[in-house]
């Protein structure tokens, strides 16, 4: 019994001694992690400054900055592990990662998928930072593309984070990809209107509106005979940004309304025509005797 107690005491003392010996290594590892955090921020700023002078693409600069930031953290964590566990060598770490690659793949497949999708988005540049896009039901301005998600600021001032894998595999509508954007504005005129004169008037009016681009030139088309009006469509081009589109649209509507009022062109309300007839004269009911004869039991 005494031998067992002595063996337990000896094991505890040995464990305590090993722990005390490991405290400096753990402390050094923690210090390295703090230094790694500082070094990652420094290298991130330095990479941003260096690539800003050399690389013109803002998306590619963002990719290089993020890769440098991640690489600094990986190097710092590996160094901290080696110092905290002196018996652990780099080869052992690589072997451990190799043995656990399947488990890591299943556990972090979404993270890896979003990371690779983010890298491809930054390299291929289907859209750039500052572009206005519509993706996965969200519309707004692209603020940043991180290693995990694409950040969009909506027009209402909200931030939407969409995983890069969803962005990469979804249909993306880039609203600001081109230097101009067309708006189709519907307008109805009375059936008594001289269409040729009305079209010329609307066309000259829309050309004078601030924000309407001279090239491509505006157009006015007659598209249909409506229930109460002949339907026209005014097509014009403006800057592609959302604020420019809606402000120009407001100015165009005001200008067209004023031009129609001054020219005496009526923009009619919906009209319904009701016809009444004499039900006694146009009686479509069966006589009583006919209904009785046609009844089948």
Please check whether residues 202 and 163 belong to one and the same domain. no
Q: What number of CA atoms fall less than 13 Å from residue 210's CA on the CB side?
A: 5
Full domain range(s) for residue 203: 179-297
Q: What is the pLDDT of residue 119?
A: 82
Please check whether residues 58 and 80 belong to one and the same domain. yes
Q: What is the pLDDT of residue 40?
A: 82
Q: How far apart are the C-alpha atoms of 284 and 105, rounded to whole Å? A: 77
The answer to whether residue 77 is domain-embedded is: yes
pLDDT, one tens digit per residue, over 36-72 is 888 888 887 887 777 777 666 676 677 777 778 778 8
- Positions of the chain with pLDDT under 50: 291-297
Instruction: Give the Cβ contact number of residue 282 at 10 Å.
Output: 7
Instruction: Give the Cβ contact number of residue 266 at 10 Å.
Output: 14
Q: What number of CA atoms fall less than 13 Å from residue 66's CA on the CB side?
A: 18
pTM for this structure? Answer: 0.65
Q: What is the pLDDT of residue 296?
A: 46
Please check whether residues 197 and 267 belong to one and the same domain. yes
Please check whether residues 46 and 78 belong to one and the same domain. yes
> Whose CA is closest to 175, among 140, 143, 144?
140
> N- to C-terminal Cα distance for the chain?
107
Please check whether residues 244 and 261 belong to one and the same domain. yes
Please check whether residues 216 and 288 belong to one and the same domain. yes
The answer to whether residue 106 is domain-embedded is: no
| CB within 8 Å of 149: residues ≥ 6 apart | 114, 118, 161, 162, 163, 164
Angle at 57 between CA 109 and CA 110, to 5 degrees: 5
Q: What is the pLDDT of residue 76?
A: 82
Q: How far apart are the C-alpha atoms of 213 and 228, rounded to whole Å? A: 32
Question: At what angle are helices 58-84 and 90-99 packed, to 10 degrees?
Answer: 110
Q: What is the pLDDT of residue 141?
A: 95
What's the alpha-carbon Rg for the chain, to the nearest Å? 37
Residue 189: beta bridge partners? 230
Q: What is the pLDDT of residue 294?
A: 47
Instruction: Say which CATH number the domain at 165 has.
Output: 2.30.30.60
Q: What is the pLDDT of residue 115?
A: 81
- Phi, psi dihedrals of residue 283, rounded to the nearest 5°: -90, 115
Please check whether residues 260 and 202 belong to one and the same domain. yes
Residue 152: beta bridge partners? 142, 160
Instruction: Say which CATH number the domain at 232 has.
Output: 3.30.70.100
Please check whether residues 92 and 169 belong to one and the same domain. no
pLDDT, one tens digit per residue, over 238-256 is 999 999 999 999 999 999 9
Count of residues making up the chain: 297
Q: What is the pLDDT of residue 9?
A: 59
Q: What is the pLDDT of residue 63?
A: 72
């Amino acid at each position: 019994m005494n031998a067992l107690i002595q063996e337990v005491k000896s094991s505890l003392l040995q464990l305590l001694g090993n722990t005390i010996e490991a405290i400096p290594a753990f402390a050094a590892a923690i210090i390295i992690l703090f230094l790694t955090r500082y070094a990652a921020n420094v290298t991130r700023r330095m990479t941003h400054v260096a690539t800003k002078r050399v690389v013109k693409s803002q998306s590619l600069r963002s990719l290089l900055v993020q890769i440098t930031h991640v690489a600094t953290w990986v190097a710092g964590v590996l160094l901290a592990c080696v110092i905290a566990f002196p018996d652990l060598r780099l080869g052992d770490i690589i072997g451990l990662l190799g043995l656990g690659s399947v488990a890591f793949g299943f556990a972090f497949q979404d993270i890896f998928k979003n990371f690779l999708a983010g890298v491809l988005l930054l390299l291929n540049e289907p859209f750039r930072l500052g572009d206005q896009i519509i993706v996965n039901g969200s519309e707004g301005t692209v603020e940043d593309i991180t290693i995990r998600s694409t950040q969009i600021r909506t027009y209402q001032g909200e931030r939407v984070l969409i995983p890069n894998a969803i962005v990469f595999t979804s249909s993306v509508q880039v609203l600001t990809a081109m230097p101009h954007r067309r708006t189709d504005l519907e307008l109805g005129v009375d059936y008594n209107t001289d269409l040729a004169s009305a079209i010329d008037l609307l066309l000259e009016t829309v050309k004078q509106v601030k924000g309407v681009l001279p090239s491509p030139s505006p157009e006015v088309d007659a598209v249909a005979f409506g229930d109460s009006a002949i339907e026209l469509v005014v097509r014009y081009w403006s800057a592609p940004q959302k604020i420019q589109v809606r402000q120009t649209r407001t100015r165009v509507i005001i200008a067209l309304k004023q031009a129609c009022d001054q020219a005496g062109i009526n923009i009619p309300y919906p009209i319904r025509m009701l016809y009444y007839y004499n039900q006694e004269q146009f009686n479509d009911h069966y006589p009583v005797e006919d209904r009785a004869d046609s009844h089948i039991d």
